[in-house]
Structures are given as structure tokens and as C-alpha cells.
Amino acid sequence: MKKILKATWIAVCCIIIFVYLLSCFTPYITPEKFPLTSLFAVLFPYLFVAAAFCCLTVFFIKKRVALIFLLVILLAGFKNINNTIAWNMQKWNMKQSGNAMRVMTWNCESFINSFPQSFSLALPRIEMLKAIQRYRPDVLCLQEYRNISNDRFFVSTKKELDSIGYTYSFLSNDSVITTFKPATMILGVAFFSRLPLTDTGRINIINKEVNENAVYADVNFNGKQVRVVTAHLRSFNIYRDTTHTGKNIYEVTFSRKHSIEYKLHHTESIHEREITIIRNLIDKSPDPVIYCGDINGTPASYTYNMLRGNMQDAFLEKGSGIGRTFDKLSPTLRIDVCLLDKRLKAVQCTAPQLYLSYHFPIITDVAWK
């Protein structure tokens, strides 16, 4: 009986490790070839833990088989493991180095609302502005940004940022709504800076179903030009119509398994086209590039690896741990990035767990090599 149980467990471990191995190839498999690429990329950390647990249990049954399993999971998953975990122990120093430029990227979720500061509902936005003041970045990249101007009731976040030192700005203008004149609402991504902007530009990355632009701005950093690019890649919107309905997410997933598979495939295909445009923008830049943004993909995904190319991931260079940046679904989701040209270096990097937006910011001190 014991032999049967042992053989059965080894067979189960083989299946788990096989599924894990599929997740190891997500950086190389396009969504066109395998629609569930992004799902396997999200599951990679859990599959790695499961595969490691299998190795541990099999070690007490057959040591040689366990060692082979361990070697296979480490070699096959080397790229995804290194992309997922920052192995540094460096602590964040709020004091900025004199020769470094501090860059902050944050999906601000439209700053939650635009109520006047006298309203209690404005508290999340007030706290977000305080966090920006506390970290005092030289360059601030915001995704899912919204500004309402010339309104008799709502306040302008652009003016609020200007009042705390961000006098230079450039917006993507994905949507410009003037229905309630004289008020104007602008949606998209935004670039704010304490440093003067020497050049700016926007480029459309998607105009089907929704319209989204990437923006770039050139700044003078210690006597040299650097180009900062920011964008927001298409959201998956799998459960948007169930928000606040009280529906069980697992029941919804099971009932919609085919439509969810379609949405994953469809959105990842859009990501591939978006990244092709962004990579072209980065590759043609006359100056070194810092890319910041919400990529809606984990470090194990095809999206992340295609976008990163030969750039450095600031969090992997100077961050610590997994660096979660999304406050939903899974504690392993680092879907916001700061990528650096190799002529630059990350001095320090952190992803503080600020429960204000549904994303956490990434702050990086950048210096010339």
C-alpha cells in the first residue's frame, strides 16, 4: 500500500511540475500562440512554491528523483524567478543623494475624486498629495489621471500639484470632455516635474474601444538630456461589471470561463501591439530613456519581457522582495515598473504599501553611471 501511495504522490508531483514548466516559458510565448500566457505568468510564483514543495516531499521518498526535480525547476524557472524577486536587502533612505534624480510612478486611480478639501470624501486624494510631498520626486508619472478644470464645485488636481512644486506638466489627453461647459475633464496619463521640460510629445498606442496615448518629456539631468516615457497599457476589465454586486468571484470565474479566456487573449494581443509602439519610441529616442508605467502584466509575462528588452528594472536592481504594486487579487502582482537605460543606474528603489489607490507607487533614485 505504501508503495502505491508513494508512486501516486510522485505522479501527482510530476503533473504539478509539468504545469509549473509551462509557466516558465511565459516570457517567450506570444498570446497569439497561447491565449492563457498571462494567466500562467500570474500563477508562476504559486506554481514555483508548489513545485518546490513537491521536491521537498519527494526527497523523503527518492532523493535522486527529488534532486532531478529541483534542478529542473530552478533551471527552467531561472528567468522568471530572477524577474519576480529582488534579492537586495538595501533599506530606503528618504534623503535623496545630491547627484540623483527621484522618479515616482503611480496609477493614481483619478486621485479617487475631485471634491474640495473641506469634504471628508477628499481624504484619499489629500493623503496621496501628502505622500507625493513626503517623497518629493523630481519627476512624477501618473496613470489613470483625471483633471477637472473651470468647474464651480470640483477642484483641479493639476492646480493642486502645481501648488506643491510641480509647475511643469504634460498630459496625454486620451479623453477631453467638455459636456458641462465651462468645465473640462481630461483623462489619461500625465507627466509632472519640478525640472523644466525641454521637449514633450504624445503618441497613440490604442484607439479601438478606448483611446490611450503614451507621453514623453525630456529633462536636463545633471547637464545631460534624459527622456522619461509613461503609459498605461490596456486593462483586462474581467470583473468590472460585477463591482459592488456582491457576486462571488470564483463563481463568476467558473460561469464565465470561456469569456474570460477570450478577454485574456484579446487584451494580451492589444498589449503586444501597444508595446511594439512603445518599444519603437524608446529605441528611436536620441537620449537615454526612463520608462514608467502600469503595464498590467507581471514580471513573468510576455508583456513585461517584451517591453523591458535590454533595459534595467529599477526594482530588481535596488528593491527588495516581490514588490507588490496592485492591491487586489494576489499579493504577488507587481504590474507597475520603472525601467532604466543602461547608461543610468538605480541608486535605490521602493514600492511603499500605500493603501490609497488600488495601486502602490514605485519611487526610484536614478543617477548617471
Asked whether residue 94 is domain-assigned, the answer is no
Co-location of 242 and 179 in the same domain: yes
Do 21 and 123 belong to one domain?
no
The answer to whether position 91 is within a domain reads: no
pLDDT of residue 361: 97
Q: Are residues 232 and 329 in the same domain?
A: yes
Q: Among 63-67, 144-148, 185-189, 355-359, where is mean pLDDT lowest?
A: 63-67
Higher local confidence (pLDDT), 269 or 368: 368
Q: Is residue 31, in this structure, part of any structural domain at all? A: yes
Same domain, 164 and 283: yes
Work out how many domains the chain is built from and give that number.
Answer: 2
Query: Is 96 within the bounds of a domain?
Result: no
Inter-CA distances, 330 with 41, 150, 301, Å: 12, 40, 15
Q: Does residue 339 lie within any of the structural domains?
A: yes
Q: What is the pLDDT of residue 237?
A: 62
* Angstrom distance (rounded) from CA 214 to CA 294: 11
What CATH number is given to the structural domain containing 280?
Answer: 3.60.10.10
Q: What is the pLDDT of residues 186-222, one digit of tens each?
A: 999 999 999 999 999 999 998 877 899 999 999 999 9
Whether residue 150 is found in the same domain as residue 290 = yes
Kindly state whether residue 93 falls inside one of the protein's structural domains. no
Phi-psi region of 264 (alpha: psi -120 to 50; beta: other; left: phi over 0): alpha
User: What one-character-per-residue DSSP string does 240-272 give?
Assistant: GGGTTS---HHHHHHHTHHHHHHHHHHHHHHHH
Antiparallel, parallel or unpaired: β 336-340 and 224-232? unpaired
Name which of 1-5, 156-160, 286-290, 351-355 the model is least confident about. 1-5
Of 19, 52, 84, the last residue of a domain is 84
Separation between Cα atoms, residue 21 and residue 44, nearest integer Å: 9
Task: Give the pLDDT score at 145.
Answer: 96
Residue 209 CA to residue 55 CA, distance in Å, equals 46
202 contacts 215 by C-beta, under 8 angstroms: yes
On whether both 74 and 147 belong to a single domain, the answer is no
Q: What is the pLDDT of residue 138?
A: 97
In the predicted model, what is the mean pLDDT of the chain? 88
Q: How far apart are CA 365 and CA 4, in angstroms?
A: 57
The mean pLDDT value for 49-60 works out to 87
- Give me the domain span that covers residue 59: 2-84
Q: Which residue among 84, 112, 133 closes a domain? A: 84
User: Which of 52, 84, 116 is the last residue before a domain boundary?
Assistant: 84
User: Is the pLDDT score of 122 beyond 50?
Assistant: yes
169 in the same domain as 37: no
Percent of the chain with pLDDT over 70: 92
The answer to whether residue 53 is domain-embedded is: yes
Per-residue HEC secondary structure of 280-306 comes to HHHHCCCCCEEEEEECCCCCCCHHHHH
pLDDT digits (tens, 9 = 90+) for 236-295: 764 454 444 455 444 544 444 445 555 676 778 888 899 999 999 999 999 999 999 999
Q: Is position 218 within any domain?
A: yes
Distance from C-alpha of 199 to C-alpha of 289, rounded to nearest angstrom: 13
